Chain A
Amino acid sequence: MAKVVIIGGGWAGVAAAVTAKKSGADVMILERMDILLGLGNVGGIMRNNGRYTAAEENSLLGAKELFEVTDQASRHVNIEFPGHKHANLYDVCKVEPMVRKLLQEMCIDLQFKSRVVDVEVEDQRIVSIVLQDGTKIKADVFIETTGSTGPMGNCLKYGNGCSMCILRCPSFGPRVSITSKAGIKDDIGKRKDGTYGAFSGSCKLNKDSLSEEIVKKLNETGVVLLPVPKEEINMKKLDMKVCQQYALKEFAENIVLLDTGHAKLMAPFYPLDKLRKFKGLENARYEDPYAGGVGNSIRYLSIAPRDNKMQVNGLKNLFCAGEKSGLFVGHTEAIVTGSLAGHNSVRFIKGIPLLELPINTCIGDLISYEREQRKTEEGLRTRYTFAGADYFKRMKDLDLYTTDTGKIKKRIEKMNLLNIYEEKII
């Protein structure tokens, strides 16, 4: 039977598994940790700005399962915070078990604590991948969704050291770039000043450590803004963040808290003593990264060169998605690229033409735009997300942004792509 092996069980890997399975393949996910979703365990913001359009497109293309889960797991629906409209906030404490259950019901083989450390390549084809314990796994096609974060040495060299994030490198071993093991040269994202990588843009505070008043407001409305004292406002800090969609004045002038189960603090890190000066945060403590007072994880250090069908350049049977496949930020971005990679992996096995999403879908446009932009120095210093910054502006300019599902449906139907991910290929 046709076998697809996915390396990395973050949102991208999980999404690839879903579409590959629906297309008829035997699917295995290898995840180095003991949980799925990777960085998805610490985010939570969905459907804000252009992500709404993308989520609807992906569902209409035939992969709605994961968006159904995140909608169901949402603590807050259709809320607003500075620069962002109609956001859902999923509960990071609930979503992983729900996704795991979905995948188990779909009979996707989930292998935890299975870190891939090497590949065996013959004639530009990955023959097998090697796990830490030496086990070799063969497949017809592989999908790399290992993300781009860390590991410890990188977070130290390009950041403030290991801040003990959800990826827990010391316990589960570092991320490995499969492309680079296969001899492909990865691209490296940069900050505005040209240094490598970027800090993750938010932290989680333990809600039990916040004042009752703040907790109440968070539970009711999802958002709390606390103004930063004038002398502490630091606009420069915005430049070092991954999330350019949150690099707005409001985020420097205020502490923004969002309720995602924990209280999501929209800053890459914030010294604890300063944080505790805010009313209601006197006893605050970090939940993720544990050392959010000093730093955060460093991302975008291993981006695979690829085509618009999510196939890695230079290897015949490797696909990629999520942060591995571009300077993308976001769960939604990981899911939509993952869905395409999973679907195309099965087309590849079958030997039929791979699907390229037209640029009059926002997903297709994001994928091809990022690929073009990344070739330039400026492009390497930019992040690509439906949620804001340059790309959301582009979406609006190109009239790709809409929250009208009927309109999106017409578009997808016109392109003859409705439910294309539902088709059983083999």
Chain B
Amino acid sequence: MSDKDHICVDMGSEYCPCYLAEMKECIMCNHLQGKELCDCNWQGICIYQEFYWNGQKRKDIRKTVEGKIIEKKVIQENYVLFKVKVDVDLALKLKHPGSYIFIRHIEKPYFFDTPMSIMDVDEKNGEIQFVVQILGPKTKDILSCENKIFIRAPYWNGVIGLKKLKETKEKKVLLIGKGVGLAPAILAIKYLLKNKNHITFVIDPGKIGVDFINEYIKDFKIEPIEISLRNQKGVDILISLLKENYDLIYSLGSDKLHKIVKAEIEDTSKFVCTNNSSMCCGEGICGACTCKTKSGQLVRMCKMQVKAEEILEEGK
């Protein structure tokens, strides 16, 4: 069967069943893998039934739309914050922690699509915000986007351990964010506060600085703890915090940050982190995001939920 802890993040959404079902490669459904008998990791719907009633076809795929840039703010050299107007409907689907989109300069072909986390959403006005770090070929001309930008969305697999994050209620939570990884913290904090969690937020500003994020968290009544992991003092503070009894520890940043954090946690089932896989199609097809789990299974990280500890140990 599909491994119990491996769940397709798109399952049951309006985009399920997808191309994978048509190719008999569905992540969840035995029948849509070409096998003989039911043996799914039940999530409340029967994908085979959806597929059948959709005329043995996948559902419509996500479209690339033109977003109107309302605001473009250079935070630091090579860090730009965008506020973009999209459909209210789309904005609503990007509200949950882990939501991300693919962005692209409107003069560039599809293979410039770059995954970006949603930082904040104003669903009433259909506005989304994200922060782009300018790095290489795909992001360099994002800076030159003026009025419009291509957006392909919604995607949801930006957090490894999403279920754990969503289940956490009235608990003690530690968030550790670094650099541009701080951006997805906002949706997560909103969600965790709604579930009455107590949040401790550790920030390593990196090159991007804290000002942009402080703008957002000032309303949350959270006292962020600012550290730098580049000096020993910062590392010591983090380690002593990790020894405290948190029910959920969410690392937002590079895989390097995830490894530092995870190494200090005894019970790794409490650990969740941002999904830093290299992504291209986001649909489980191209294979750019493929990762090997501890047990040697290959998983498409753009779609599949796995346990954080299964992935990080092996890396890519």
Question: Which of B30-38, B121-129, B201-209 forms contacts with chain A?
Answer: B30-38
Q: With a CB–CB cut-off of 8 A, which chain B residues contact A169?
A: 46
A174 in contact with B40 given A153-B29, A153-B30, A156-B48 (CB within 8 Å): yes
Least Cβ–Cβ distance between B35 and chain A, in angstroms: 10
CB pair B46–A152 under 8 Å, yes or no, is: yes
Does A367 touch B at the CB level, under 8 Å?
no
Chain B residue nearest to A181 (CB atoms) is B1
CB pair B42–A157 under 8 Å, yes or no, is: no
Task: Kindly state the separation between the CA atoms of A170 and B45 in the bound complex, as whole angstroms.
Answer: 7
Least Cβ–Cβ distance between B247 and chain A, in angstroms: 15
CB pair B49–A156 under 8 Å, yes or no, is: yes
A153 in contact with B42 given A118-B4, A302-B37 (CB within 8 Å): no
A173 in contact with B46 given A153-B29, A154-B37 (CB within 8 Å): no
What string of 1s and 0s marks CB contacts (under 8 Å) between A174-197 and chain B?
101100110000001000000010
Query: Which 10 A-B residue pairings sit nearest by Cβ, starting from the closest?
Result: A152-B46, A153-B48, A153-B38, A173-B42, A154-B38, A153-B31, A151-B38, A174-B42, A152-B49, A153-B46
Chain B residue nearest to A157 (CB atoms) is B31
Does A50 touch B at the CB level, under 8 Å?
no
Chain B residue nearest to A196 (CB atoms) is B36
Chain A residue nearest to B45 (CB atoms) is A170
Within 119-173 of A, Cβ neighbours of B (below 8 Å) are at: 132, 150-154, 156-157, 161-162, 169-170, 173
Does B22 touch A at the CB level, under 8 Å?
no
Task: Kindly state the separation between the CA atoms of A180 and B40 in the bound complex, as whole angstroms.
Answer: 13
CB pair B40–A156 under 8 Å, yes or no, is: no
Q: How large is the interface on B (under 10, 10 to 19, 20 to 34, 35 or more residues)?
A: 10 to 19
Task: Kindly state the separation between the CA atoms of A152 and B31 in the bound complex, as whole angstroms.
Answer: 11
Chain A residue nearest to B29 (CB atoms) is A153
A152 in contact with B4 given A157-B48, A161-B52, A170-B46 (CB within 8 Å): no
- Could you say which of B4, B37, B49 has the most chain A C-beta atoms within 10 Å of its C-beta? B37
Q: With a CB–CB cut-off of 8 A, which chain A residues contact B46?
A: 151-153, 156, 162, 169-170
Does B71 touch A at the CB level, under 8 Å?
no
Does A117 touch B at the CB level, under 8 Å?
yes
CB pair A152–B36 under 8 Å, yes or no, is: no
The 28 listed contacts between A and B (C-beta, < 8 Å) are: A117-B41, A132-B42, A150-B38, A151-B38, A152-B48, A153-B29, A153-B30, A153-B38, A153-B40, A153-B46, A153-B48, A154-B37, A154-B38, A156-B31, A156-B46, A156-B49, A156-B52, A157-B31, A157-B48, A161-B52, A162-B46, A169-B46, A170-B44, A170-B46, A174-B42, A180-B39, A188-B36, A188-B37
CB pair A117–B4 under 8 Å, yes or no, is: yes
Q: With a CB–CB cut-off of 8 A, which chain B residues contact A181?
A: 1
Q: With a CB–CB cut-off of 8 A, which chain A residues contact B31?
A: 153, 156-157
Within 27-86 of B, Cβ neighbours of A (below 8 Å) are at: 29-31, 36-42, 44-46, 48-49, 52
Chain A residue nearest to B41 (CB atoms) is A117
Within 7-49 of A, Cβ neighbours of B (below 8 Å) are at: none
Query: Hey, which bits of chain B sit against chain A, CB under 8 A?
Result: 1, 4, 29-31, 36-42, 44-46, 48-49, 52
Does A301 touch B at the CB level, under 8 Å?
yes
Least Cβ–Cβ distance between A355 and chain B, in angstroms: 32
Least Cβ–Cβ distance between B63 and chain A, in angstroms: 29
CB pair B49–A162 under 8 Å, yes or no, is: yes
Task: Kindly state the separation between the CA atoms of A181 and B40 in the bound complex, as whole angstroms.
Answer: 11
Q: With a CB–CB cut-off of 8 A, which chain A residues contact B48?
A: 152-153, 156-157
Least Cβ–Cβ distance between B180 and chain A, in angstroms: 34
Least Cβ–Cβ distance between B86 and chain A, in angstroms: 33
- Could you say which of A132, A157, A177, A302 has the most chain B C-beta atoms within 10 Å of its C-beta? A157
Least Cβ–Cβ distance between A320 and chain B, in angstroms: 17
Contact of A161 among B40, B42, B45, B49 (CB under 8 A): B49
Least Cβ–Cβ distance between B170 and chain A, in angstroms: 18
CB pair A174–B38 under 8 Å, yes or no, is: yes
Contact of B37 among A118, A161, A301 (CB under 8 A): A301
Task: Kindly state the separation between the CA atoms of A7 and B151 in the bound complex, as whole angstroms.
Answer: 49
Task: Kindly state the separation between the CA atoms of A370 and B52 in the bound complex, as whole angstroms.
Answer: 35
Q: With a CB–CB cut-off of 8 A, which chain B residues contact A151?
A: 38, 46
What string of 1s and 0s marks CB contacts (under 8 Å) between A290-311 and chain B?
0000000000011000000000
Q: With a CB–CB cut-off of 8 A, which chain A residues contact B30?
A: 153
Q: With a CB–CB cut-off of 8 A, which chain A residues contact B45?
A: 170
Chain B residue nearest to A180 (CB atoms) is B39
Task: Kindly state the separation between the CA atoms of A361 and B180 in the bound complex, as whole angstroms.
Answer: 76
Q: With a CB–CB cut-off of 8 A, which chain B residues contact A302?
A: 37
Least Cβ–Cβ distance between B127 and chain A, in angstroms: 37
Task: Kindly state the separation between the CA atoms of A170 and B48 in the bound complex, as whole angstroms.
Answer: 13
Task: Kindly state the separation between the CA atoms of A301 and B46 in the bound complex, as whole angstroms.
Answer: 18
Chain B residue nearest to A130 (CB atoms) is B4
Q: With a CB–CB cut-off of 8 A, which chain B residues contact A150?
A: 38
Least Cβ–Cβ distance between A167 and chain B, in angstroms: 13
Q: Known pairs A150-B38, A151-B46, A153-B31. 4 more at Cβ < 8 A?
A: A152-B48, A156-B31, A169-B46, A180-B39
Least Cβ–Cβ distance between B311 and chain A, in angstroms: 20
What string of 1s and 0s marks CB contacts (under 8 Å) between A109-120 and chain B?
000000001100
Least Cβ–Cβ distance between A278 and chain B, in angstroms: 31
Q: With a CB–CB cut-off of 8 A, which chain A residues contact B42?
A: 117, 132, 173-174
Q: With a CB–CB cut-off of 8 A, which chain B residues contact A177?
A: 37, 39
Q: With a CB–CB cut-off of 8 A, which chain B residues contact A173?
A: 42
Chain A residue nearest to B1 (CB atoms) is A181
Task: Kindly state the separation between the CA atoms of A132 and B43 in the bound complex, as whole angstroms.
Answer: 10
Least Cβ–Cβ distance between A303 and chain B, in angstroms: 12
Least Cβ–Cβ distance between B61 and chain A, in angstroms: 23
Task: Kindly state the separation between the CA atoms of A151 and B29 in the bound complex, as whole angstroms.
Answer: 12
Q: With a CB–CB cut-off of 8 A, which chain A residues contact B41?
A: 117
Least Cβ–Cβ distance between A421 and chain B, in angstroms: 34
A153 in contact with B49 given A174-B42, A301-B37, A302-B37 (CB within 8 Å): yes
Task: Kindly state the separation between the CA atoms of A262 and B48 in the bound complex, as whole angstroms.
Answer: 32
Chain A residue nearest to B30 (CB atoms) is A153
Q: With a CB–CB cut-off of 8 A, which chain A residues contact B40?
A: 153, 174
Task: Kindly state the separation between the CA atoms of A176 and B30 in the bound complex, as whole angstroms.
Answer: 13
Q: With a CB–CB cut-off of 8 A, which chain A residues contact B49?
A: 152-153, 156, 161-162
Task: Kindly state the separation between the CA atoms of A161 and B41 in the bound complex, as whole angstroms.
Answer: 19
Least Cβ–Cβ distance between A7 and chain B, in angstroms: 16
Task: Kindly state the separation between the CA atoms of A132 and B38 in the bound complex, as whole angstroms.
Answer: 16
Task: Kindly state the separation between the CA atoms of A164 and B42 in the bound complex, as whole angstroms.
Answer: 17
Least Cβ–Cβ distance between B292 and chain A, in angstroms: 23
Task: Kindly state the separation between the CA atoms of A118 and B1 in the bound complex, as whole angstroms.
Answer: 11
